[in-house]
Structures are given as C-alpha cells and as structure tokens.
C-alpha cells in the first residue's frame, strides 16, 4: 500500500537544452515569428553591407564561398556517418543482451565526455600516424563518431516512447523482431525523432568551424585567412557569423517543414 508521501511524489521535470538551432514550431501560423524576424534581419544585413560597402564585404564573400561548399560537404558526410551509428547505438542501448547494452552505453559515456575538438585532433594527428586518412574523411568521421553518441540517445528515447501495444500487435500478426522494428517501430518513432535529429544536424554544421584547427577550407578558416592577409577582423568574422546564422535559420525551417509534413500525413492517415 502506498504511503501519503509516495502518493504526493511528483515526477521531476527534465529540461533539455542543446547547442542546436531552435526549430520553428510548425503549428505557429503567425505572420511575424522569431524565425521570420531573424531571417529577415539577417538577409537585410547581408544585402545592406554588400551594397553599401562592397569593399571589403563583397571581396570577403567571394573569398569564403568555397568554404561554404566544404562546410556543407563535411556536414552531410558527418550526418551520413552519425545517423547509422546513432541507430545502432540506440538499439544497443535498448538491447536486453548485457554485453551489447554495455558496449553501447560505454561508447555513449566515453564519446560524450570528450570534446569534439579533442576527438578531431586525435583522429587527424593520432590515427594519422598509422593510417593515411584524407582531411575531409578524417574530419567527417570524427564529427560523425562524436555526434553518433548524441544521435544514439535520440533514437533510444524515440524508440522507447513507442506504445508497447504496437509491438505486441505486430508480433501477433507474425512479424519477427527485425520486421517489427523496420516496418512498425522505426516509422512510428521517426515523427518523434526528426526534430532532435535535425537539431543535432544543425549543431554539427556549426561545429564544422572547429576543423579550422586542421587548416581545412571551412567558412571560418577562409575568414581567418582573409584576416591574416587584409587585417580586417571585424568585417571578416562579422560576415562569417552572418553566413552561419543564415544557413542555420534556413536549415531549421527545413526541419520544421519536414515535421509539418509528417504530422499532416499522420493526421490524414488517422482520419482515414
């Protein structure tokens, strides 16, 4: 029998804060939102400084444009590595096999306890002593390996949130565990997983600035090169920050649109 203290015990609320972008709420139909205000002001600022002061801002923009391409390449490669690792890690964290669960949990604890910059240096310089790894692949693997731990927790939480009745129903229809996971659990979990996965992907894009320590041609590295040759730190780093802001806002809106489409299809199917 529960005591009065146990009956009055309330669950402790959890506050989750990440360094990713704030994904716009798909249900927010207001004309002026925080996102629309931010993207409008950012684009106006970029357009204004280029028109009013083409020297040096137009020169800086042309100088860093190849860094934008490298940043996107690193981001997509890193996400392509992080998501499969995250899925495997999330499933491992939910596994009833103690060995698999321990390996997955150990990976999450260790990787999340080491800064990404340290992992970049270790893989690039440490592993590079034994294997020849291209700069792009080394940086993408380090970022994907690090963010795979964060993705793993997202997948674990999303899968664990699925109603157990859905799993029991699929098993009663003759689906094995693999079919249940692939056809029932993961599609249902994706609606919950998408926003935080998108958030971590945007955080990964921002962290590509760290590869400047490897002298790779990221946006930040190109900005540093411009500063070293033209001595214009305020202009160069200001434009670099503005570019990162615009890219982040656009990607966050893309994630919001995808989430809205998922909600629409889910509601439509539920209605039918």
pLDDT tens-digit profile of 180-217?
777 778 878 887 888 888 889 899 999 888 888 776 77
How far apart CA 201 and CA 86 sit, in angstroms, is 12
Query: What local confidence, expressed as pLDDT, does residue 77 receive?
Result: 93
Mean pLDDT rounded to a whole number for the chain: 81
Q: Give the chain's domains with CATH numbers.
A: 55-271 (1.10.3720.10)
pLDDT-based confidence at residue 88 (cuts at 50, 70, 90): very high
Alpha-helix runs per DSSP H in the chain: 4-8, 34-52, 54-94, 98-112, 116-121, 135-160, 164-172, 177-180, 186-207, 219-230, 233-271
135 φ, ψ (degrees, to nearest 5) = -55, -50
Question: Pick from 249, 258, 252: which is nearest to 37 by CA?
Answer: 249
Q: Where residue 11 falls among pLDDT bands split at 50, 70, 90? A: very low
Report yes or no: 154 and 190 within 8 Å, Cβ to Cβ.
no
What's the pTM?
A: 0.80
Helix (H, G, I), strand (E, B) or coil at 73: helix
Whether 67 and 221 have beta carbons less than 8 Å apart is answered as yes
Share of the chain above pLDDT 90, in %: 27
Average confidence (pLDDT) over 37-63: 91
Among 46-50, 218-222, 224-228, top mean pLDDT goes to 46-50
Q: For residue 240, what pLDDT band results from cuts at 50, 70 and 90?
A: very high
Model confidence at 244, pLDDT cuts 50, 70, 90, reads: very high
**Looking at 9-18, 64-73, 116-125, which range is the least confident one?**
9-18
| pLDDT tens-digit readout, 18-44 | 555 566 666 666 667 888 899 999 999
Q: Evaluate if residue 83 carries a pLDDT over 90.
A: yes
């Amino acid at each position: 029998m529960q005591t009065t203290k146990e009956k009055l015990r309330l669950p402790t609320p959890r506050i989750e804060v990440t360094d990713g972008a704030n994904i716009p709420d798909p249900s927010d139909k207001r004309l002026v939102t925080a996102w629309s205000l931010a993207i409008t002001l950012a684009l106006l600022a970029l357009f204004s400084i280029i028109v009013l002061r083409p020297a040096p801002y137009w020169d800086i923009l042309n100088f860093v444009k190849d860094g934008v391409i490298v940043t996107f390449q690193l981001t997509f490669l890193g996400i392509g590595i992080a998501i499969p690792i995250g899925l495997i890690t999330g499933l491992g964290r939910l596994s009833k096999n103690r060995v698999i669960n321990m390996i997955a949990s150990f990976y999450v604890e260790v990787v999340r306890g080491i800064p990404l910059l340290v992992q970049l240096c270790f893989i690039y310089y440490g592993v590079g002593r034994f294997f020849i790894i291209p700069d792009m692949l080394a940086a993408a693997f380090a970022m994907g390996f690090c963010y795979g731990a964060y993705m793993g927790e997202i997948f674990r939480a999303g899968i664990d949130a699925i109603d157990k009745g859905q799993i029991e129903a699929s098993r009663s229809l003759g689906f094995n565990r693999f079919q249940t996971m692939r056809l029932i659990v993961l599609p249902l979990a994706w609606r919950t997983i998408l926003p935080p996965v998108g958030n971590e992907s945007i955080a990964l894009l921002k962290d590509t600035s760290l590869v400047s320590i490897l002298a790779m041609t990221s946006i930040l590295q190109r900005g540093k090169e411009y500063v070293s040759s033209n001595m214009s730190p305020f202009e160069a780093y200001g434009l670099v920050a503005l570019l990162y802001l615009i890219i982040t806002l656009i990607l966050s809106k893309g994630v919001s649109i995808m989430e809205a489409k998922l909600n629409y299809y889910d509601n439509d199917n539920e209605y039918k």
